[in-house]
Amino acid sequence: MDPDFAFNPDGLARAVELLGQHWNDTGVPPLPLDWPAAGLGSGAVLEQMAPLVLGGAGRLGQASAFAHMDPPTPWLSWAATLWNAALNQNLLHPATAPVARDIEARVVAWLAPFFGMNGGHLTPGSTVANLTALWAARECAGIQEVLASQSAHLSVQKAAHLLGLRFRGLPVDPSGALHADALDGDLSRSALVLTAGTTSTGAVDPLCLAGRAAWTHVDAAWAGPLRLSPTHALRLAGIEAADSVAVSAHKWLFQPKESALVLFRDSARAHAAVSFGGAYLAVPNVGVLGSHGAQAAPLMATLLAWGRAGLAARIDHCMALAQQWADVIERDARLVLRARPETGVVVWRPADSACFDLLLAHMPPGAVSVTVLDDIRWFRNVVANPNADVALLAGALARALDALANTSERR
C-alpha cells in the first residue's frame, strides 16, 4: 500500500492543528517558484503550505466581514468535506456513490417543498442551476427567448447565450426589482426569469408574475433560504408557482463551495429532458455535470445539526443585522441609505460623493463592497456572516467619517 493513500491520523491531526494555528494569520508567504523534480513529502508540504493557503485567505467569518454573499461555514461541514475528499465518490455512477446518491435525493426531498417544487439535483452553483433550468425550459416548453430584469445576474444572460436563446433585459423600478408592467406581448415562447434577491441590491422581483410565460424560473440564488424561515418565508410568496428554482447553498445555507440546488415543479419531466444515457452508464446522466461529488453530505449534516429552527435562527439573525446596519446609516445625516433592506443587502453612500474613495479606504477590510447603480457608486453590505458585529462596524464607520471631516477641514 502506498502510504500516501493510507489513512494517516497523525498527518490529519497536524492539518487540523495548523488550521487552528493559522486561523488569524494575515501575512502571506511567497508562492513556491518551481515544481521540484523530487517531491518534498506530504508532511513537509503540510507545514509549508499552511501559512500560504490559510494565511492568505480572506476571513469570511470575522466580525467585520460584511460585504459579500460568501458566508463562513459551520465546522461540521468541514468534517463532512474532509470525508468527501477521502472517499471521492462520483455520483455519476451508483457503484461509485451508493450512499451519496441517496443522501442527495433525501436533502433535495427535504428542501424542494419549501419552494413548491417536487425534486431536482445539486449543482456547483446557481450559475449552473440557472443554465440547467433554462435548458429544461427549452426542451420542455420550446422556449426561444429569455426575459429577465436588467438587474438579473449575469449567469442568466450567459445561460441564454450558451443555449442559443435570445435574451431580453426588462426595465426595473427604483428598488431594482422588475417593473411590474414590464411584461407584454406573446410569452408563449418565452422563459421568464424572476430574481429573488438581486445580487446588487437584494431586490425581489414580483413573484406574482410566475406562470405568465411558457416557463418561469426563479433565481433565488441568494434569498431562497428565506423560505426556510417562518418569519421571512412570505417575502418570497408566489415562488411556488414557478417551474424551476435555483438556490446557492454556498451562500445563505452556509455551505462550503461548490454547492447549490436546481429544483423543478415537475422534476421527472425536467430531468428526463436534460438526461443522456451511454453504454458505460448504469443510470442516465442528469444535468450539466459529468463526474460530480457528494456536496449533499455537508449540507445534510448542517440541516440535521441545526434543524429547520436552527437554520431559520441564523438567517433571521442575519436579517436583523441588516436592519440594524440600515438604522446606523439612516441616522447619520452624512450618509444616504438607498432603501430599507429586503433580503439582507444594504446599499448606501456618503451624501457627498467626493468622499467615496476616502471613506472606502478607511473602512475595515472585508466590510464593504462597491456597486454602481444609475451611474453612481454605492457601498454595499451583504449579511451572509452571522458573526458580523454591527456595533464594531458602526464604530469603524464613525471613525472613518470623523477622519474624513478632519481631512476636509485641513483642506
Ligand X SMILES: *Cc1c(COP(=O)(O)O)cnc(C)c1O
In the list 125, 202, 287, 364, the residue contacting ligand X (rule: CB under 6 A) is 125
Choice between 219 and 342, CB closer to ligand X: 219
Choice between 156 and 182, CB closer to ligand X: 156
Least CB distance to ligand X at residue 320 (A): 21
Choice between 155 and 190, CB closer to ligand X: 155
Is 201 a binder of ligand X (CB under 6 A)?
A: no
Q: Which stretch binds ligand X (CB under 6 A): 85-93, 175-183, 214-222, 359-367?
A: 214-222
Check whether the bond before 145 is cis (ω within 30° of 0).
no
Choice between 260 and 393, CB closer to ligand X: 260
Least CB distance to ligand X at residue 219 (A): 5
In the list 62, 77, 81, 126, the residue contacting ligand X (rule: CB under 6 A) is 126
- Per-residue interface string for the shown chain with ligand X, residues 227-266, x marking contact by CB under 6 A: ---------------------x-----------x------
Choice between 368 and 401, CB closer to ligand X: 368
| 165 contact partners, CB below 8 Å, separation of at least 6 | 134, 138, 143, 144, 145, 146, 159, 191
Q: Which stretch binds ligand X (CB under 6 A): 160-168, 215-223, 280-288, 392-400?
A: 215-223
Chain position whose Cβ is nearest to ligand X: 125
Q: Which stretch binds ligand X (CB under 6 A): 24-32, 193-201, 265-273, 282-290?
A: 193-201
Choice between 203 and 335, CB closer to ligand X: 203
Choice between 293 and 350, CB closer to ligand X: 293
Is 221 a binder of ligand X (CB under 6 A)?
A: yes
In the list 50, 65, 67, 69, the residue contacting ligand X (rule: CB under 6 A) is 69
- Per-residue interface string for the shown chain with ligand X, residues 134-153, x marking contact by CB under 6 A: -------------------x
Q: Which stretch binds ligand X (CB under 6 A): 196-204, 337-345, 371-379, 395-403?
A: 196-204
Q: Tell me the three cell numbers of residue 359.
A: 471613506
Choice between 70 and 332, CB closer to ligand X: 70
Is 73 a binder of ligand X (CB under 6 A)?
A: no
What whole-number distance in Å separates Cα of residue 78 and Cα of residue 298? 8
Q: Which stretch binds ligand X (CB under 6 A): 123-131, 178-186, 272-280, 343-351?
A: 123-131
- Please report, as residue ranges, which positions from 260 to 299 form the binding site for ligand X (by CB under 6 A): 260
Least CB distance to ligand X at residue 402 (A): 34
SS3 for the chain is CCHHHCCCHHHHHHHHHHHHHCCCCCCCCCCCCCCCCCCCCHHHHHHHHHHHHCCCCCCCCCCCCCCCCCCCCCHHHHHHHHHHHHHCCCCCCHHHCHHHHHHHHHHHHHHHHHHCCCEEEEECCHHHHHHHHHHHHHHHHCCCEEEEECCCCHHHHHHHHHHCCEEEEECECCCCCECCCCCCCCCCCEEEEEEECCCCCCCECCHHHCCCCCEEEEECCCCHHHHHCCCCHHHHCCHHHCCEEEEEHHHHCCCCCCCEEEEECCHHHHHHHCEECCCCCCCCEECCCCCCCCCHHHHHHHHHHHHHHHHHHHHHHHHHHHHHHHHHHHHCCCEEECCCCCCCEEEEEECCHHHHHHHHHHCCCCCCEEEEECCEEEEEEECCCCCCCHHHHHHHHHHHHHHHHHHHHHC
Choice between 155 and 397, CB closer to ligand X: 155
Least CB distance to ligand X at residue 232 (A): 17
| 160 contact partners, CB below 8 Å, separation of at least 6 | 134, 145, 146, 166, 167
In the list 89, 190, 199, 255, the residue contacting ligand X (rule: CB under 6 A) is 199
Q: Tell me the three cell numbers of residue 375.
A: 451611474
Binding site for ligand X (CB under 6 A): 69, 125-127, 153, 155, 195, 197-199, 219, 221-222, 248, 260
